[in-house]
Amino acid sequence: MAKIKKTIKRIKVDADLCNGCRMCEVMCSSYHSSPKYSMVNPARARIQIIRDPLKDIWLPVFAGEYTPSECNGRIIYNIDHKTYEECAFCRAACPSRERFIEPDSGLPLGCDMCQDDPSLERPVCVEWCIRDVLTYEETVVEVEEEDIKRDELKTGLRALSDKFGFNELMDAVARMSRSNEF
């Protein structure tokens, strides 16, 4: 099996440096507005500042994957050796809260690392973070080619299942296999 190089992109957060200026929220929502930079609405940002002014906590959290059901198990977070019992730090968009949900359509928002058209070298939240709370990191790893194809297949099947339903997807595969459409 051939090995290929895959780039893993991520945003790292240094929680101790954030002062809650919210520039990341402003620039993210502006970049993702249509047309670009035409409006600012932090509710549409793919990154949001979670704050607790009494404890002087300001923590940027960027949107992760959508989950169709709320989770009851992930309620304890350990950040900088402190324990928090709340879902505010969770990156998932889920039905139990309004965070990372597009206000008008109700669709979940996800961080795309500002890779839509035109693609940016670094996400805007990282570019505009004046205290270097957010840093962008790319790591190149070698993976088996088959692993990439399996991940793509799993992602595609999950998207089709979410859109049309699992039973409808399975019926379509069965019809295609009976009529030799593969």
Looking at residue 147, its pLDDT comes to: 63
Q: Structure pTM?
A: 0.69
DSSP 116: S
**What is the torsional sign of CA 108, 110, 112, 113?**
positive
- The token pair that represents 139 in the structure block: 């790591």
Residue 130 — pLDDT band, cuts 50, 70, 90?
very high
Question: Are 68 and 95 within 8 A, CB to CB?
Answer: yes
Residue 108 — pLDDT band, cuts 50, 70, 90?
confident
Selected residue with higher pLDDT from 72 and 164 = 164
Selected residue with higher pLDDT from 4 and 124 = 124
Note the residue count of the chain: 182
Question: Are 34 and 48 within 8 A, CB to CB?
Answer: no
Residue 71 — pLDDT band, cuts 50, 70, 90?
low
Residue 182 has pLDDT above 60, yes or no: no
Using only C-alpha atoms, the chain has a radius of gyration, in whole angstroms, of: 20
Contacts of 103 (CB under 8 A, 6+ apart): 41, 43, 44
- The token pair that represents 23 in the structure block: 């520039």
Cα 22 from Cα 51, distance rounded (Å): 11
Residue 13 has pLDDT above 60, yes or no: yes
The pLDDT mean for the chain works out to 83
